[in-house]
């Protein structure tokens, strides 16, 4: 009964000042969204570091040192090297469907059967069949068994989609064709963009050296090097995001402090009166901290949703796939909202507790 009347009074008091409460929640939402986005992206990217290689079961990536193409012969040469268990050549490029540019990945489609990626549909059975990334299905309204016209450097080629691949990587947005088709579409003569190599564990440094010696002008990176390179970029992004976060958190605190300050000032008379009719300091704290909790929790929850969407948008843009965010993130976001709100409310509430009711209540 005592509690329920408190909530009744509290809700009346808050709805009295809806606008302010909403603005306070919004500023918390922004701050929490940035924090959530930062954590979501960071943890998501970590998970994806080197994942492009892992997805093919490779641990070395060979590309042309100069940034151009590799000769197809390199594939043969590399496959014969000691310690090399498996190789696959990939060529990347762009083609068009109805004037929309689509990424093309040329590779040995048969080798994908071992990767364990999800296939919706069938593997290509003949020359005219290709695979599409799952995201293209809705984006381009593709269907299995239907023909698509791809225009490339040499004019238009027709294919039939036999199935949709799903990995959660860049492939989900690409068309997967055989190497010969890719060469024809891109009008390049037996070239590769990269060769992915699975080398025997423990011998990667030696194998890398051999590859660089055997095929002139190549650069070889290990899975670990790829991951480290991506990570150092990530660190720079992280630093930037941390700076942004500090600024946004500070701004949110100031905003809450001034909202709460205005709240307390506006309600001087009410506070004075409550003291006069016997409210203890804890009674008064309860009112203001309840409002801070409401603002913080609402802002934190909204901020989580916004930060989550932001994270996924960034991930989609960067990787063409979504990120699994850590499970603690929603709880952490709400907690962050509460901390911001409570800390920022502390000072105005201390002021309110100091008000001398005798002085306030004689004011006109």
List residues binding other proteins (CB under 8 A).
1-2, 5-6, 9, 12-13, 16, 269-270, 272-283, 356-359, 361-362, 364
| Nearer of residues 8 and 250 to other proteins, judged by Cβ | 8
Smallest gap from Cβ 293 to other proteins, in A, equals 19
Smallest gap from Cβ 14 to other proteins, in A, equals 10
| Nearer of residues 276 and 350 to other proteins, judged by Cβ | 276
State the burial class of residue 257 (Cβ atoms within 10 Å of its Cβ: 0-12, 13-18, 19+).
middle
Smallest gap from Cβ 17 to other proteins, in A, equals 9
Smallest gap from Cβ 2 to other proteins, in A, equals 5
| Nearer of residues 10 and 316 to other proteins, judged by Cβ | 10
| Nearer of residues 340 and 349 to other proteins, judged by Cβ | 349
How many angstroms separate the CA atoms of 88 and 107, rounded?
Answer: 7
End-to-end CA distance of the chain: 35
| Nearer of residues 5 and 158 to other proteins, judged by Cβ | 5
In residues, how long is the chain? 364
Smallest gap from Cβ 271 to other proteins, in A, equals 11
C-beta separation of 40 from 325 below 8 A? yes
| Nearer of residues 231 and 270 to other proteins, judged by Cβ | 270
Bridge partner residues of 151 (DSSP): 96, 156
Smallest gap from Cβ 276 to other proteins, in A, equals 5
| Nearer of residues 17 and 54 to other proteins, judged by Cβ | 17
How many angstroms separate the CA atoms of 57 and 112, rounded?
Answer: 10
Smallest gap from Cβ 287 to other proteins, in A, equals 11
Name, in order, each residue with C-beta under 8 angstroms of 271's C-beta and a sequence gap of 6 or more: 264, 284, 352, 355, 357, 360
State the burial class of residue 240 (Cβ atoms within 10 Å of its Cβ: 0-12, 13-18, 19+).
exposed
Structure tokens at 169: 């990587």
Structure tokens at 214: 């055997």
Angle between helices 223-266 and 268-276 (to 10 degrees): 70
């Amino acid at each position: 009964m005592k509690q329920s009347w408190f909530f009744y009074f509290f809700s009346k008091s808050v709805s009295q000042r809806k606008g302010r409460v909403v603005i306070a929640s919004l500023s918390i939402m922004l701050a929490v969204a940035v924090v959530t986005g930062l954590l979501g992206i960071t943890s998501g990217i970590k998970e994806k570091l080197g994942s492009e290689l892992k997805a093919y079961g490779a641990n070395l990536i060979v590309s042309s040192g100069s940034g151009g193409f590799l000769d197809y012969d390199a594939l043969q040469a590399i496959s014969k090297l000691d310690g090399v268990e498996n190789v696959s050549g990939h060529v990347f490029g762009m083609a068009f469907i109805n004037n929309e540019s689509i990424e093309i990945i040329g590779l040995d489609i048969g080798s994908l059967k071992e990767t364990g990626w999800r296939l919706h549909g069938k593997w290509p059975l003949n020359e005219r069949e290709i695979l599409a990334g799952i995201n293209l299905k809705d984006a381009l309204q593709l269907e299995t068994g239907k023909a698509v016209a791809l225009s490339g450097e040499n004019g238009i080629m027709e294919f039939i989609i036999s199935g949709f691949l799903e990995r959660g990587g860049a492939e989900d947005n690409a068309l997967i064709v055989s190497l010969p088709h890719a060469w024809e579409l891109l009008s390049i003569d037996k070239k590769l963009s990269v060769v992915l190599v699975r080398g025997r564990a423990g011998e990667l440094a030696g194998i890398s050296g051999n590859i660089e010696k055997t095929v002139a002008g190549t650069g070889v990176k290990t899975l670990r090097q790829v991951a480290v390179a991506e990570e150092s970029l990530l660190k720079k992004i992280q630093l930037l995001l941390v700076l942004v976060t500090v600024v946004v958190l500070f701004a949110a605190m100031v905003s809450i402090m001034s909202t709460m300050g205005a709240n307390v000032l506006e309600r001087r008379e009410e506070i004075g009166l409550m003291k006069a009719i016997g409210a203890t300091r804890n009674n008064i704290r309860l009112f203001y901290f309840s409002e801070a909790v409401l603002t913080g929790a609402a802002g934190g929850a909204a901020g989580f949703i916004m930060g989550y969407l932001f994270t996924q948008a960034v991930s989609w843009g960067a990787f063409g796939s979504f990120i699994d965010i850590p499970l603690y993130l929603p709880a952490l976001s709400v907690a962050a909202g509460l901390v911001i709100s409570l800390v920022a409310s502390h000072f105005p509430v201390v002021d309110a507790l100091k008000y001398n009711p005798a002085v306030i209540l004689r004011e006109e």
